[in-house]
Amino acid sequence: MTAVLVQTGASLVAVLFIAWLVGRMGLGADPRIADEAHAIRLAEEAEAGFRGIEVARDRAGFAAIVRNAEGRMMLIRAHGNHFAARPVDASVIGRLDKDFLTLTMPERTFGAVTLQLGKDAGMWASRMREFGRA
């Protein structure tokens, strides 16, 4: 009987320790882009010298497009527990569907990203036309 209680107690301690460790490591988190400032900071961290001035953030906060003063754009998206960023250029295929803008990157492992931008989706799609795509 005592051995069963000790084993149960040890198992409980181990489970609590693993839960604490997972939380401490940030595993299982649901990363979201909180606001425009957060999106700009992520873009600037991804590319040295990139200075964002305008942001189109997905309504759910999973992705954003950041534009700098030169007109260059950077796509930021949730990737696991972190964020990944890629430049938006002529190799990116953009597809507009009402309030949604889907960007398909040439890098297949990055995948396509659909942003719900509301009425601003058309404006951002037209900016992509400057690159020769959309």
| pLDDT bucket at 39, cuts 50 / 70 / 90 | very high
Residue in this structure with the two tokens 């069963």, named with its chain if needed? 4
- Output the CA torsion 18→22→24→29 (10° steps): -160
- The predicted-structure confidence for 57-99, as pLDDT tens digits, reads as follows 999 999 999 999 999 999 999 888 889 999 999 899 999 999 9
Across 45-54, 109-118, 123-132, least confident range: 123-132
| pLDDT over 70 percentage in the chain | 87
Give strand pairing partners of 56.
65
Say yes or no to pLDDT of 104 above 90. yes
